[in-house]
Amino acid sequence: MGVKPFVMWPDRRLRTPAAPVGAVDDVVRRVWDDMIDTMEAMPGVGLAAPQIGVMLRLAVVDASSERGQAIRMADPEILHASVEPRDHEEASPNLPGVSARVRRPRAVTVAYLDEGGERVERDFVHLWATSVQHQIDHLDGRLYVDRLSRTRRDMILRKARRRG
């Protein structure tokens, strides 16, 4: 277990949809442990496995103020999203030095396999919802900049290129 290095943009893995997990086993649990260590070291509020080069549909989210409340998700999918939006400044360790305000649904209901391998449906709101959606985007081969206008996205990617 430990902190893993990030895949850096423009690595193609960041644009590749991750493979379904199907079942939770000890290998998946070890990946989750590494992901939590890596997320805490950032520090961040979420991490998707492709961000560290593991091309599986695994994510961890911890938007708690006290930390240590990470939710482990395998094969997460959004079942319902609220119509009410929420704007939040988003960033990614895969695109260091840049961020952007992104509008997403304020609340989502997500189904996923938990650490026991059970299918769970859970509601997330505010920062938790933003982080879950951000991680699912990574699992689908999308970055937060893909949710911006083309002009804004191109500007941020140019800035990221200069910093990288």
- Residues 51-101: tens digit of each pLDDT: 999 999 999 999 998 888 999 999 999 999 999 999 999 999 999 999 999
- As a 3-state breakdown, the chain gives helix, strand, coil percent values, each rounded to 5, of 35, 30, 35
User: What is the enclosing helix (H) or strand (E) of 34?
Assistant: helix 26-41
Indicate the range of 67-71, 85-89, 114-118, 123-127 predicted with least confidence: 67-71
pLDDT at 33 over 90: yes
Mean pLDDT computed over every residue of the chain: 96
Rounded mean pLDDT of 99-120? 98
User: Do the beta carbons of residue 105 and residue 82 sit within 8 Å?
Assistant: yes
